[in-house]
Amino acid sequence: MAAITASMVAELRAKTDAPMMECKKALTEAEGDMARAEELLRVKLGSKASKAASRITAEGIIAIDIHGTTGAMVEINCETDFVAKNDDFLAFGKALAQLVAQRNPADVTALSALDMDGTTVEARRAVLIGKIGENMSIRRFKRFEGASKLASYLHGTRIGVVVEFTGDDVAAKDVAMHVAAMKPVALSSADVPAALIETERSIAAQKAAEDAEKARAEGKPTQPPEIVAKRVEGAVQKYLKEVSLFNQAFVKNDKQTVEQMLKAANTTVSGFTLYVVGEGIEKKSENFADEVAAQMAAARAN
Q: Which tens digit of pLDDT belongs to each residue from 145-164?
A: 987 899 999 999 999 999 99
CATH code of 25's domain: 1.10.8.10
CATH code of 94's domain: 3.30.479.20
Q: Could you tell me if residue 281 is inside a domain?
A: no
Query: Could you give the CA distance from residue 13 to residue 7 in angstroms, rounded to a whole number?
Result: 10
**Do 150 and 69 contact (CB within 8 A), yes or no?**
yes
Query: Among the three residues 146, 171, 203, which one is the final residue of a domain in this structure?
Result: 146
Assess whether 40 and 113 both reside in one domain. no
Q: Which tens digit of pLDDT belongs to each residue from 16-65?
A: 777 788 888 889 988 888 888 888 887 877 655 454 444 444 799 999 99
End-to-end CA distance of the chain: 43
Assess whether 78 and 40 both reside in one domain. no
Which pLDDT value is given to residue 47?
54
What does the pLDDT average to over 121-137?
Answer: 90
The percentage of the chain sitting over the pLDDT mark of 70, rounded to a whole number, equals 88
